[in-house]
Amino acid sequence: MKASYFLGNKTFEVRECPIPTAGPGEVVIKNMACGVCGTDVHIYHGEPGSADVTPPVVLGHEYAGEVVEVGEGVTALQPGDHVTVDPNIYCGACEYCRNGKKQLCETMQAIGVTRDGGFAQYSVVPVEQAFKLSADLPYEWGAMAEPVACCLHGIDLAGIRPGDTVCVIGGGAIGLIMMQLAKLSGAAKLVVSEPNEKRRQAALQLGADLAIDPTDPQQRASMKCAANVVIECVGNNPAVQSAFDFAKKGATLVLFSVPKVDASFPLPLFDVYKKELTIKGSFVNPDTHGRAVQLLNAGKLNFEPIITHRFPLAQMAEAIAEQMGSESIKVVVCPQE
Protein backbone atom coordinates (compact mmCIF):
# COMPACT_ATOMS: atom_id res chain seq x y z
CA MET A 1 0.00 0.00 0.00
CA LYS A 2 0.94 3.66 -0.30
CA ALA A 3 1.22 5.91 2.74
CA SER A 4 2.14 9.59 2.92
CA TYR A 5 4.50 10.09 5.85
CA PHE A 6 5.01 13.49 7.41
CA LEU A 7 8.75 13.85 8.00
CA GLY A 8 8.69 17.23 9.71
CA ASN A 9 10.04 20.46 8.23
CA LYS A 10 7.02 20.79 5.90
CA THR A 11 7.91 17.57 4.09
CA PHE A 12 5.84 14.55 3.06
CA GLU A 13 7.09 11.31 1.50
CA VAL A 14 4.92 8.64 -0.11
CA ARG A 15 6.20 5.20 0.86
CA GLU A 16 5.29 1.66 -0.13
CA CYS A 17 4.36 -0.26 3.02
CA PRO A 18 2.78 -3.63 3.86
CA ILE A 19 -0.97 -3.53 4.41
CA PRO A 20 -1.44 -3.71 8.21
CA THR A 21 -3.03 -6.73 9.82
CA ALA A 22 -5.62 -6.70 12.58
CA GLY A 23 -4.54 -7.78 16.04
CA PRO A 24 -6.98 -8.77 18.77
CA GLY A 25 -9.64 -6.08 19.18
CA GLU A 26 -8.56 -4.23 16.03
CA VAL A 27 -9.93 -3.59 12.54
CA VAL A 28 -8.15 -2.80 9.29
CA ILE A 29 -9.76 -0.02 7.27
CA LYS A 30 -9.38 0.72 3.57
CA ASN A 31 -9.20 4.50 3.82
CA MET A 32 -11.45 6.20 1.25
CA ALA A 33 -11.53 9.89 2.25
CA CYS A 34 -9.60 11.99 4.74
CA GLY A 35 -10.14 15.66 5.49
CA VAL A 36 -7.31 18.14 5.89
CA CYS A 37 -7.83 19.75 9.29
CA GLY A 38 -6.55 23.04 10.62
CA THR A 39 -4.62 20.91 13.11
CA ASP A 40 -2.82 19.24 10.19
CA VAL A 41 -1.83 22.72 9.01
CA HIS A 42 -0.48 23.55 12.47
CA ILE A 43 1.49 20.28 12.57
CA TYR A 44 2.84 21.00 9.07
CA HIS A 45 4.27 24.24 10.43
CA GLY A 46 5.94 22.50 13.36
CA GLU A 47 3.29 23.18 16.02
CA PRO A 48 1.69 20.51 18.24
CA GLY A 49 -1.60 18.84 17.44
CA SER A 50 -4.02 17.50 20.04
CA ALA A 51 -0.93 15.61 21.24
CA ASP A 52 2.77 15.99 20.50
CA VAL A 53 3.82 14.79 17.05
CA THR A 54 6.97 12.72 16.49
CA PRO A 55 7.77 12.30 12.76
CA PRO A 56 7.79 10.21 10.71
CA VAL A 57 4.06 9.64 11.06
CA VAL A 58 1.04 9.29 8.79
CA LEU A 59 -1.21 12.24 9.60
CA GLY A 60 -4.94 12.47 8.91
CA HIS A 61 -7.48 12.14 11.72
CA GLU A 62 -10.71 13.01 9.87
CA TYR A 63 -11.42 9.92 7.81
CA ALA A 64 -13.78 7.22 6.68
CA GLY A 65 -13.43 3.95 4.85
CA GLU A 66 -14.39 0.29 4.57
CA VAL A 67 -13.53 -2.46 7.05
CA VAL A 68 -11.50 -5.13 5.26
CA GLU A 69 -10.34 -7.27 8.21
CA VAL A 70 -11.35 -7.75 11.83
CA GLY A 71 -9.17 -9.12 14.58
CA GLU A 72 -9.81 -11.76 17.20
CA GLY A 73 -12.70 -10.88 19.49
CA VAL A 74 -14.25 -8.26 17.22
CA THR A 75 -17.99 -8.77 16.82
CA ALA A 76 -19.36 -5.22 16.47
CA LEU A 77 -18.03 -4.79 12.93
CA GLN A 78 -17.40 -7.04 9.95
CA PRO A 79 -15.65 -6.73 6.57
CA GLY A 80 -17.66 -4.55 4.22
CA ASP A 81 -18.92 -2.16 6.90
CA HIS A 82 -18.44 1.52 6.24
CA VAL A 83 -16.89 3.30 9.21
CA THR A 84 -15.52 6.57 10.47
CA VAL A 85 -12.77 6.88 13.06
CA ASP A 86 -12.75 8.70 16.39
CA PRO A 87 -9.02 9.41 16.61
CA ASN A 88 -8.66 10.23 20.30
CA ILE A 89 -7.55 7.44 22.64
CA TYR A 90 -7.58 8.22 26.37
CA CYS A 91 -5.65 6.50 29.14
CA GLY A 92 -8.67 6.06 31.44
CA ALA A 93 -6.47 6.28 34.54
CA CYS A 94 -5.34 9.88 34.99
CA GLU A 95 -7.11 12.46 37.16
CA TYR A 96 -9.00 13.92 34.21
CA CYS A 97 -10.16 10.61 32.73
CA ARG A 98 -11.39 9.49 36.15
CA ASN A 99 -13.31 12.71 36.77
CA GLY A 100 -15.36 13.12 33.60
CA LYS A 101 -12.85 15.26 31.66
CA LYS A 102 -11.25 12.65 29.41
CA GLN A 103 -10.53 15.26 26.71
CA LEU A 104 -7.90 16.68 29.07
CA CYS A 105 -6.19 13.27 29.44
CA GLU A 106 -2.55 13.63 30.44
CA THR A 107 -1.34 10.92 28.02
CA MET A 108 -3.88 11.07 25.20
CA GLN A 109 -2.92 9.44 21.92
CA ALA A 110 -4.54 10.26 18.61
CA ILE A 111 -4.78 8.32 15.36
CA GLY A 112 -3.36 10.54 12.65
CA VAL A 113 -1.31 12.50 15.19
CA THR A 114 0.67 10.12 17.41
CA ARG A 115 -0.35 6.95 15.51
CA ASP A 116 -0.53 6.43 11.75
CA GLY A 117 -3.83 7.68 10.38
CA GLY A 118 -5.86 8.46 7.30
CA PHE A 119 -3.35 9.79 4.77
CA ALA A 120 -2.62 6.23 3.68
CA GLN A 121 -4.48 3.60 1.70
CA TYR A 122 -5.06 1.42 4.79
CA SER A 123 -4.97 1.86 8.56
CA VAL A 124 -5.44 -0.28 11.66
CA VAL A 125 -7.38 1.01 14.68
CA PRO A 126 -8.87 -0.36 17.90
CA VAL A 127 -12.45 -1.41 17.19
CA GLU A 128 -13.68 0.99 19.88
CA GLN A 129 -12.50 3.90 17.70
CA ALA A 130 -14.51 2.84 14.62
CA PHE A 131 -18.16 3.87 14.22
CA LYS A 132 -20.46 2.34 11.61
CA LEU A 133 -21.78 4.61 8.88
CA SER A 134 -24.81 4.15 6.65
CA ALA A 135 -23.75 2.36 3.48
CA ASP A 136 -25.30 5.07 1.31
CA LEU A 137 -23.48 7.96 3.01
CA PRO A 138 -20.66 9.32 0.81
CA TYR A 139 -17.24 8.55 2.28
CA GLU A 140 -16.30 12.23 2.06
CA TRP A 141 -19.27 13.11 4.27
CA GLY A 142 -18.42 10.27 6.64
CA ALA A 143 -14.94 11.74 7.01
CA MET A 144 -16.57 14.84 8.48
CA ALA A 145 -17.77 12.95 11.57
CA GLU A 146 -14.68 13.94 13.55
CA PRO A 147 -15.01 17.71 12.99
CA VAL A 148 -18.75 17.42 13.63
CA ALA A 149 -18.00 15.61 16.90
CA CYS A 150 -15.61 18.38 17.96
CA CYS A 151 -18.22 20.99 17.06
CA LEU A 152 -20.86 19.14 19.08
CA HIS A 153 -18.66 19.49 22.17
CA GLY A 154 -18.47 23.23 21.50
CA ILE A 155 -22.23 23.41 20.97
CA ASP A 156 -22.80 21.59 24.27
CA LEU A 157 -20.60 24.17 26.01
CA ALA A 158 -22.41 27.05 24.30
CA GLY A 159 -25.72 26.14 25.96
CA ILE A 160 -27.87 27.46 23.11
CA ARG A 161 -31.53 27.86 24.06
CA PRO A 162 -34.39 27.84 21.55
CA GLY A 163 -34.97 31.44 20.55
CA ASP A 164 -31.36 32.60 20.97
CA THR A 165 -29.50 34.77 18.48
CA VAL A 166 -26.29 32.94 17.66
CA CYS A 167 -23.34 34.47 15.84
CA VAL A 168 -20.63 32.25 14.37
CA ILE A 169 -17.33 34.04 13.69
CA GLY A 170 -15.75 32.45 10.63
CA GLY A 171 -17.25 30.74 7.60
CA GLY A 172 -14.70 28.00 7.10
CA ALA A 173 -15.61 24.33 7.40
CA ILE A 174 -15.84 24.45 11.19
CA GLY A 175 -17.92 27.63 11.20
CA LEU A 176 -20.33 26.20 8.62
CA ILE A 177 -20.73 23.01 10.66
CA MET A 178 -21.24 25.05 13.83
CA MET A 179 -23.98 27.14 12.27
CA GLN A 180 -25.86 24.03 11.13
CA LEU A 181 -25.62 22.56 14.62
CA ALA A 182 -26.71 25.88 16.16
CA LYS A 183 -29.77 25.85 13.92
CA LEU A 184 -30.58 22.29 14.98
CA SER A 185 -30.21 23.47 18.60
CA GLY A 186 -33.01 26.02 18.17
CA ALA A 187 -31.33 29.30 17.29
CA ALA A 188 -34.02 31.77 16.21
CA LYS A 189 -31.54 33.97 14.36
CA LEU A 190 -28.28 32.69 12.96
CA VAL A 191 -25.56 35.11 11.84
CA VAL A 192 -22.19 34.27 10.29
CA SER A 193 -19.38 36.84 10.27
CA GLU A 194 -16.94 36.15 7.44
CA PRO A 195 -14.94 38.48 5.14
CA ASN A 196 -14.74 35.96 2.27
CA GLU A 197 -17.68 36.33 -0.15
CA LYS A 198 -17.59 32.68 -1.26
CA ARG A 199 -17.89 31.52 2.33
CA ARG A 200 -20.67 34.00 3.11
CA GLN A 201 -22.64 32.59 0.20
CA ALA A 202 -22.06 29.05 1.47
CA ALA A 203 -23.35 30.11 4.90
CA LEU A 204 -26.54 31.51 3.38
CA GLN A 205 -26.96 28.36 1.27
CA LEU A 206 -26.71 26.28 4.46
CA GLY A 207 -29.35 28.24 6.33
CA ALA A 208 -27.78 31.33 7.90
CA ASP A 209 -30.30 34.16 8.32
CA LEU A 210 -27.57 36.75 7.79
CA ALA A 211 -23.94 36.65 6.63
CA ILE A 212 -21.99 39.84 7.33
CA ASP A 213 -18.60 41.12 6.23
CA PRO A 214 -16.83 42.19 9.44
CA THR A 215 -14.52 44.49 7.47
CA ASP A 216 -17.54 46.62 6.49
CA PRO A 217 -18.08 49.15 9.33
CA GLN A 218 -21.83 49.39 8.77
CA GLN A 219 -22.37 45.64 8.71
CA ARG A 220 -20.13 45.22 11.75
CA ALA A 221 -22.04 47.90 13.65
CA SER A 222 -25.29 46.05 12.96
CA MET A 223 -24.10 43.19 15.18
CA LYS A 224 -22.89 45.30 18.10
CA CYS A 225 -24.08 43.65 21.35
CA ALA A 226 -26.58 41.53 19.37
CA ALA A 227 -25.89 37.85 20.10
CA ASN A 228 -26.81 35.63 23.05
CA VAL A 229 -24.14 33.13 21.98
CA VAL A 230 -20.97 33.82 19.99
CA ILE A 231 -18.85 30.96 18.67
CA GLU A 232 -15.40 32.01 17.43
CA CYS A 233 -13.96 29.69 14.76
CA VAL A 234 -11.05 31.61 13.24
CA GLY A 235 -8.15 31.82 15.68
CA ASN A 236 -6.87 35.35 15.27
CA ASN A 237 -7.23 38.49 17.35
CA PRO A 238 -9.63 40.39 15.05
CA ALA A 239 -12.03 37.43 15.22
CA VAL A 240 -11.80 37.28 19.01
CA GLN A 241 -12.40 41.02 19.18
CA SER A 242 -15.51 40.54 17.05
CA ALA A 243 -16.72 37.90 19.51
CA PHE A 244 -16.56 40.38 22.38
CA ASP A 245 -18.09 43.19 20.29
CA PHE A 246 -21.04 41.10 19.12
CA ALA A 247 -21.85 39.61 22.56
CA LYS A 248 -24.84 41.13 24.30
CA LYS A 249 -25.22 41.30 28.07
CA GLY A 250 -25.24 37.86 29.65
CA ALA A 251 -23.83 36.21 26.51
CA THR A 252 -21.73 33.06 26.31
CA LEU A 253 -18.58 33.15 24.17
CA VAL A 254 -17.05 29.88 22.99
CA LEU A 255 -13.47 30.33 21.76
CA PHE A 256 -13.42 27.20 19.63
CA SER A 257 -10.61 27.86 17.15
CA VAL A 258 -7.08 26.45 17.36
CA PRO A 259 -4.82 29.48 17.79
CA LYS A 260 -1.05 29.60 17.48
CA VAL A 261 0.71 28.25 20.56
CA ASP A 262 1.98 31.67 21.63
CA ALA A 263 -1.18 33.62 20.74
CA SER A 264 -2.55 36.05 23.31
CA PHE A 265 -5.38 38.56 23.47
CA PRO A 266 -5.88 41.58 25.76
CA LEU A 267 -8.99 40.59 27.69
CA PRO A 268 -11.55 43.43 27.85
CA LEU A 269 -12.09 43.10 31.57
CA PHE A 270 -14.72 45.80 31.85
CA ASP A 271 -16.83 44.10 29.16
CA VAL A 272 -16.59 40.80 31.02
CA TYR A 273 -17.66 42.56 34.21
CA LYS A 274 -20.35 44.89 32.86
CA LYS A 275 -21.88 42.41 30.41
CA GLU A 276 -21.49 39.46 32.79
CA LEU A 277 -19.98 37.36 30.02
CA THR A 278 -19.22 33.66 30.17
CA ILE A 279 -16.09 32.63 28.24
CA LYS A 280 -15.41 28.98 27.43
CA GLY A 281 -12.74 27.02 25.61
CA SER A 282 -13.45 23.78 23.77
CA PHE A 283 -11.03 20.90 23.14
CA VAL A 284 -11.58 17.81 20.95
CA ASN A 285 -14.60 15.52 21.12
CA PRO A 286 -15.27 13.67 24.39
CA ASP A 287 -18.12 11.18 23.90
CA THR A 288 -19.63 13.09 20.97
CA HIS A 289 -18.45 10.99 18.01
CA GLY A 290 -21.42 8.62 18.23
CA ARG A 291 -23.86 11.55 18.18
CA ALA A 292 -22.04 12.98 15.16
CA VAL A 293 -22.46 9.71 13.30
CA GLN A 294 -26.16 9.63 14.18
CA LEU A 295 -26.60 13.11 12.68
CA LEU A 296 -24.72 12.09 9.54
CA ASN A 297 -26.60 8.84 9.12
CA ALA A 298 -29.91 10.70 9.60
CA GLY A 299 -29.04 13.23 6.89
CA LYS A 300 -29.26 16.23 9.22
CA LEU A 301 -26.11 17.96 7.93
CA ASN A 302 -25.08 19.16 4.48
CA PHE A 303 -21.47 19.19 3.28
CA GLU A 304 -22.12 19.85 -0.42
CA PRO A 305 -20.94 23.49 -0.34
CA ILE A 306 -18.27 22.78 2.30
CA ILE A 307 -16.08 20.17 0.56
CA THR A 308 -14.53 22.20 -2.24
CA HIS A 309 -11.24 20.53 -3.24
CA ARG A 310 -9.91 16.98 -3.58
CA PHE A 311 -6.33 15.73 -3.90
CA PRO A 312 -4.64 12.35 -4.37
CA LEU A 313 -2.26 10.99 -1.76
CA ALA A 314 0.80 12.06 -3.74
CA GLN A 315 -0.14 15.74 -3.44
CA MET A 316 -0.23 16.22 0.32
CA ALA A 317 1.81 19.45 0.28
CA GLU A 318 -0.54 20.88 -2.34
CA ALA A 319 -3.56 19.80 -0.26
CA ILE A 320 -2.16 21.57 2.81
CA ALA A 321 -1.44 24.71 0.76
CA GLU A 322 -4.98 24.68 -0.67
CA GLN A 323 -6.51 24.32 2.80
CA MET A 324 -4.58 27.42 3.82
CA GLY A 325 -5.84 29.41 0.82
CA SER A 326 -8.88 31.63 0.47
CA GLU A 327 -10.45 29.66 -2.40
CA SER A 328 -11.07 26.50 -0.41
CA ILE A 329 -13.44 25.69 2.42
CA LYS A 330 -12.66 22.02 3.08
CA VAL A 331 -9.97 19.98 1.32
CA VAL A 332 -10.27 16.19 1.21
CA VAL A 333 -7.53 13.70 0.34
CA CYS A 334 -8.60 10.55 -1.55
CA PRO A 335 -6.01 7.87 -0.64
CA GLN A 336 -7.13 5.34 -3.26
CA GLU A 337 -6.54 7.71 -6.19
The catalytic residue positions are 39, 42
The CA distances from residue 225 to 165, 188, 252, in Å, are 11, 16, 12
Strands 210-212 and 189-193 come out as parallel
HSE, side-chain direction, 13 A CA sphere, residue 152: 19
Residue 227's closest CA among 297, 305, 158, 310?
158
Question: Do the strands 62-70 and 122-126 form a parallel or antiparallel pair, or are they unpaired?
Answer: unpaired
Pairing mode, if any, of strands 330-334 and 26-35?
antiparallel
What whole-number distance in Å separates Cα of residue 91 and Cα of residue 105? 7
Distance (Å) of CA 49 to CA 73, 108, 126:
32, 11, 21
CA atoms within 13 A on the CB side of 14: 13
The b-or-e profile of 26-63 (16+ CB within 10 A means b, else e) is: bbbbbbbbbbbbbbbbbbbeeeebbbebeeebbbbbbb
Q: How far apart are CA 227 and CA 101, in angstroms?
A: 29
Distance of alpha carbon 56 from the chain centroid: 23
